[in-house]
Amino acid sequence: MANTAHTSQADLKKSNQSFLLPVDQDNSSLTQLVKTYLPKREIDKVWEAYRFSEKAHSGQKRRSGEAYISHPVSVACIAARFHLDSQSIQAALLHDVVEDTESTELEIESKFGKQVSTLVIGLSKLDKVEFQDANEAQAENFRKMLLAMTQDVRVMLIKLSDRLHNMQTIQSLDESKKIRIAQETVDIYAPIANRLGLNNLYQELEDLCFEVLHPVRYKTIQKAIKASRGNRKEVIEKISNEISNKLKSVKTKAEITGREKNPASIHRKMLEDQTGFNQINDIYAFRIIVNDINDCYLTLGTLHSLYNPIPGKFKDYIAIPKANGYQSLHSTLLGPFGVPVEIQIRTKNMHQLAEAGVAAHWLYKTKDAHVTDLQQKTNQWLKRMLDIQNDSSNSLEFLEHLKVDLFPDEVYVFSPDGKIFALPKNSSSIDFAYAVHSDVGNKAVSAKINQILVPLRTRLSTGDHVEIITSTLAKPNPTWLNFVITGKARSQIRNYLRSAESKDLIFLGEKMLNNALNAFHIHPTAIKKKHWNKLILDYHVESKDEILMDIALGKKVNVMVAHQLTNLMDGLASNKKQTKMLDVITIKGSDGMAIQLANCCHPIPGDPILGYINKEKGLVIHTHDCQIVNELSLDHDRWVDVEWEPDSEKLFNVRLSVLVVNERGMLGKIASIIADAESNINNVSLQDMDGSPFATLNFLVQVRHRQHLAELIRNLRKITKVNKITRVKNYKN
């Protein structure tokens, strides 16, 4: 027979908040909580930590006027409701001691052991480190916490308990601080709670933030929920009884609980569906807990025979769990009076994991398959965070990647060997490539989705079978950053581009320095390591490479660096004079990121050219007659002489404007001539002249050199009704 939990209004409220209700701020509450699962010897250690914390915080007050010790005790109570171990509860009691009192890390370690000390250190802020601004400090604190969490996930479980209590008591703070803390919580901490499977904590944090950030909307929705309860009571009781009786008829044992959606989730649904409160029919839902997986599917079939399922509203998170380990069957049915009824069906173990997430590990301490799977998923996510932080150039970039990774709304795709990958919604094939392995992403050239060849920017859908085609010659493209979604892909691409750009800049800087040394009649090999070491000290930089990159970016003048190096050489011409002009720098047009061909004039081999040192882009090549040359002519130190390397087989972009008689077939004729000339069209656009029989076709074509371009233009002029062809320079986007 089915066991039914009747859904009174008190039950509905309790079901949402029973796990994380605000705690009584005294040590007796904590004692009662830990007594339920810790042995006496561990409880004694918790008491020892309490006494130490109480003494350390003696005389300190919270903003609300309460004794400060009330905060760590409350945090410990929340952590105890997760059934965290003794070391975690001790760390929760001590988490502010190092930061806010005279106590030291060594003192904590000597009294409570290495584990507790490590947890406390992981929770402490970096107040002693100087940062440029508050954003950088916040980002570095998150980075430090995430790194600590990769070593021990308990760090984050305690931190989330700390943040929950801060949000529960936030009303005593001033308005600007409340908004800042609430925004930080909804951006980072609530998503982390969701990612770790802490469903109740996630929902409460979300509601508390919603109340602070949108107080009027929160009150309005709360009021609407209360007003609707009386109207819905009869429907809810009827549905509950019908579900119970139907399950009894098939002899399925089940616990049925009605639950009320929280205001933040209702608000989110209103925004997603662009609808009002009255159109949100599934404010109440039913959770059905059964004995095993077979009963889950049997219950689903039974309820589908009771009420008609709504198409597209079924999700099987048992067969394919969410990335945070959550498992359940979800279905929306059309109940009595035409009311949509949302149901969730799960086993008892699944329910425990849904409520306590990764913290359930500390409760069960078993080899349960669900727990093992959840821990494995959590460890994979933590490892991914570690990879992202290693690939990020600074803490702010790491925080950006972390935020991207915390809002998955996932799609599930299959690799060629049948492995399932959970990726954020709107992920592209290249996101999948980096999810498989960073080397696969770096060498990707295209993809096959369901056996069909597609570009790497193609978005993925649940159920897709994805195969990445790689090449040893391939490398990441900067344009990928425009469409990748995952933090891992973004950080790997940026890291590769930084590395490639650095190599190119070092190469260019060395070329420019050697040019200057030759002008002083000094062979570059005459400059020894000791001379470089002295120059590195004089410039207060980390390495020789940093000096060379500064030369390439125009931050240091090559002649001045060469002069200083010669002065450092023992017995060499500190009095030598420059006796010849600097050599020109030879370029191929494919020297990497440190040398770029300007988009304004699109220089090609055969054009007279000049190089301009841009502090952000490196050496940018312009034609002599480019307008930019005139605009920047006074900036003499940044211009360098350059020349083309002979016999380059590379193709170069050039812009052509072709004035034609506007009639059918003209574009085809021109395209055919361009193809016959062994050129390539990169882009074409039409500029129609209102009321005129003429039109202008703007081409971006590729040629090998100036002679190749001249030959192409001659052939185009042979087409009847082509009136004028102009090479476009001084182009502006």
Torsion of CA 579, 585, 586, 589, to 10 degrees: -170
Q: How does pLDDT run across 319-339, given as a tens digit for each residue? A: 888 766 778 999 988 887 777
Pick the catalytic residue from 54, 66, 99, 109: 99
Nearest CA to 443 among 434, 435, 452? 434
Q: Does the pLDDT at position 22 exceed 60?
A: no
User: What pairs with residue 657 in β-bridges?
Assistant: 698, 726
49 in Cβ contact with 90 (< 8 Å): yes
Which residues touch 632 (CB under 8 Å, ≥6 apart)? Answer: 612, 638, 639
Ramachandran region, residue 251 (left: φ > 0; alpha: ψ -120 to 50; beta: rest): left
Q: Does the pLDDT at position 28 exceed 60?
A: no
Nearest CA to 209 among 242, 217, 289, 314? 217
211 catalytically annotated: no
Which amino acid type is present at position 331? S
Length of the chain: 733
Q: Does the pLDDT at position 272 exceed 60?
A: yes
Q: Are strands 308-316 and 3-4 parallel, antiparallel or unpaired?
A: unpaired
d(CA 732, CA 697): 17
What tokens appear for 223 in the block? Answer: 């009021």
44-48, 253-257, 473-477: least confident range: 473-477
Q: Are strands 618-623 and 595-597 parallel, antiparallel or unpaired?
A: parallel
What tokens appear for 483 in the block? Answer: 């469409």
Nearest CA to 653 among 731, 538, 545? 731
Confidence of residue 474 (pLDDT cuts 50, 70, 90): confident
| CA angle, 720 then 724 then 729, to 5° | 145
d(CA 465, CA 629): 52
The sign of the dihedral angle between the CA atoms of 116, 121, 125, 128 is positive
What tokens appear for 121 in the block? Answer: 């250190």
Give the DSSP per-residue string, 45-99. Answer: HHHHHHHHHHHHTTT-B-TTSSBTTHHHHHHHHHHHHTT--HHHHHHHHHTTHHH
Which residues touch 429 (CB under 8 Å, ≥6 apart)? Answer: 444, 447, 449, 454, 455, 456, 457, 458, 460, 466, 468
The sign of the dihedral angle between the CA atoms of 392, 394, 397, 399 is positive
Q: What is the pLDDT of residue 50?
A: 93
d(CA 93, CA 31): 13
What tokens appear for 675 in the block? Answer: 């193809």
Q: Which helix (H) or strand (E) holds 682?
A: strand 680-688
304 in Cβ contact with 345 (< 8 Å): no
For residue 395, the SS3 value is helix
Ramachandran region, residue 614 (left: φ > 0; alpha: ψ -120 to 50; beta: rest): beta
Q: How does pLDDT run across 162-184, given as a tens digit for each residue? A: 999 999 999 888 898 899 889 88
3-state secondary structure 411-428: EEEECCCCCEEEEECCCE
* Residue pointed to by tokens 């991207």: 404
Which residues touch 407 (CB under 8 Å, ≥6 apart)? Answer: 191, 424
More confident residue, 387 or 716: 716
Give the DSSP per-residue string, 132-164. Answer: SSHHHHHHHHHHHHHHHHHH-THHHHHHHHHHH
User: What pairs with residue 533 in β-bridges?
Assistant: none
Q: Does the pLDDT at position 589 exceed 80?
A: no
Is residue 701 packed enough to be buried (19+ CB in 10 Å), middle (13-18) or exposed (0-12)? buried
Alpha helices in 169-310 (DSSP H): 175-184, 190-195, 199-213, 215-249, 263-273, 293-306
Q: How does pLDDT run across 550-582, given as a tens digit for each residue? A: 887 767 777 778 877 877 775 444 444 444 455
Q: How does pLDDT run across 289-299, given as a tens digit for each residue? A: 999 999 999 99
204 in Cβ contact with 81 (< 8 Å): no
Confidence of residue 525 (pLDDT cuts 50, 70, 90): confident
More confident residue, 650 or 407: 650
3-state secondary structure 343-381: EEEEEHHHHHHHHHHHHHHHHHCCCCHHHHHHHHHHHHH
Give the DSSP per-residue string, 484-504. Answer: --SHHHHHHHHHHHHHHHHHH
Torsion of CA 524, 528, 534, 540, to 10 degrees: 60
Structural domains of the chain in order of their starting residue, each with its CATH number: 13-215 (1.10.3210.10), 227-358 (3.30.460.10), 374-486 (3.10.20.30), 495-643 (no CATH), 652-727 (3.30.70.260)
Confidence of residue 492 (pLDDT cuts 50, 70, 90): confident
Burial readout 539-560 (b: 16 or more C-beta within 10 A, e: otherwise): eeeeebebbbbbbbbbebbbbe
Which amino acid type is present at position 224? A
Q: What is the pLDDT of residue 131?
A: 40
Pick the catalytic residue from 100, 105, 184, 643: 100
- Most confident range (mean pLDDT) of 218-232, 344-358, 692-706 is 692-706
What tokens appear for 557 in the block? Answer: 């003048």
Mean pLDDT score of the chain, rounded to an integer? 78
Q: How does pLDDT run across 118-164, given as a tens digit for each residue? A: 888 878 754 444 444 556 556 666 666 566 566 677 888 898 899 99
Per DSSP, 170 falls in state: G
Q: What is the pLDDT of residue 18?
A: 33
Confidence of residue 265 (pLDDT cuts 50, 70, 90): confident
Nearest CA to 619 among 592, 650, 651? 592
50-59, 247-256, 643-652: least confident range: 643-652
What tokens appear for 83 in the block? Answer: 């059934």
99 catalytically annotated: yes
* Residue pointed to by tokens 């399925």: 252
